[in-house]
Chain A
Amino acid sequence: MSADACRISLDAFEGPLDLLLYLIKRDELDIYQIEAAVVAEQYLEYIRKALELDLDVASEYLVMAATLTSMKSRALLPASRGQEADEIGEAEALMRQLVLYKAFKEIAQDLRESEDLWRNIFPSAGERERWSADSPPAIPGQLTIIDLLTALEELSAPADKAPDQRISRPVLTIAECVEELGGKLQTGVWTTLSALTGIGFGRSRIVGFFIAILELVRLGRLVLRQRRPFAEIEVLRTEFW
Chain B
Amino acid sequence: MLDRLSRDIEALLFATDRPLSIDELCELTGSGEDSVSQAIERLKAALEESGHSLVIAEIAGGFRLMTDATHGETVAQLFEDRRPGRLTRAAIETLAVVAYNQPCTRAAVEAVRGVNCDSALKSLLERNLIRICGRQETVGRPLTYATTEDFLSYFGLSDIDHLPRRREIEEILSTGMPAGQDSDLFEENRG
A136-B95 Cα distance, complex, nearest whole Å:
35
B17→A126 contact, CB < 8 A: yes
Q: Does residue B132 face the partner (Cβ distance < 8 Å to A)?
A: no
A27-56 to B contact mask, C-beta < 8 Å, 1/0 = 000000000000000000000000000000
A116-B73 Cα distance, complex, nearest whole Å:
11
Question: From residue 90 to 127 of chain A, which have CB atoms closer than 8 A to chain B?
Answer: 93, 96-97, 99-101, 103-108, 110-112, 114-127
Q: Does residue B93 face the partner (Cβ distance < 8 Å to A)?
A: yes
Which B residues are in CB contact (< 8 Å) with A116?
A: 86
Q: Does residue B28 face the partner (Cβ distance < 8 Å to A)?
A: no
A116-B148 Cα distance, complex, nearest whole Å:
19
Shortest CB-to-CB span from B71 to chain A, Å, is: 8
B178→A103 contact, CB < 8 A: no
B14→A115 contact, CB < 8 A: no
A121→B72 contact, CB < 8 A: yes
Q: Does residue B140 face the partner (Cβ distance < 8 Å to A)?
A: no
Q: Does residue A17 face the partner (Cβ distance < 8 Å to B)?
A: yes
Which B residues are in CB contact (< 8 Å) with A117?
A: 69, 156
Segment from B1-9, B30-38, B40-48, B164-172 that makes contact with A: B164-172
Shortest CB-to-CB span from B92 to chain A, Å, is: 5
Q: Does residue B118 face the partner (Cβ distance < 8 Å to A)?
A: no
B43-65 to A contact mask, C-beta < 8 Å, 1/0 = 00000000000000100000011
A216-B110 Cα distance, complex, nearest whole Å:
52
Q: Does residue A14 face the partner (Cβ distance < 8 Å to B)?
A: yes
Q: Does residue B114 face the partner (Cβ distance < 8 Å to A)?
A: yes
A125-B17 Cα distance, complex, nearest whole Å:
6
Most chain B CB within 10 A, of A64, A96, A97, A118, is at A118
Which B residues are in CB contact (< 8 Å) with A58?
A: 115
Which B residues are in CB contact (< 8 Å) with A97?
A: 111-112, 114, 178
Q: Does residue A60 face the partner (Cβ distance < 8 Å to B)?
A: yes
A116-B173 Cα distance, complex, nearest whole Å:
27
A16-B16 Cα distance, complex, nearest whole Å:
46
A149-B176 Cα distance, complex, nearest whole Å:
70
Which A residues are in CB contact (< 8 Å) with B163?
A: 107
Shortest CB-to-CB span from A21 to chain B, Å, is: 10
Which A residues are in CB contact (< 8 Å) with B155?
A: 111, 114-115, 118
Shortest CB-to-CB span from B167 to chain A, Å, is: 12
Closest A residue to B168 using CB positions = A103
Given A15-B114, A104-B100, A111-B164, output 9 extra A-B contacts at Cβ < 8 Å: A96-B176, A97-B112, A100-B177, A104-B97, A108-B89, A108-B95, A114-B156, A126-B17, A128-B17
Name 8 A/B residue pairs within 8 A (Cβ), A-sorted.
A17-B113, A17-B114, A101-B112, A108-B93, A121-B66, A124-B13, A124-B14, A127-B17
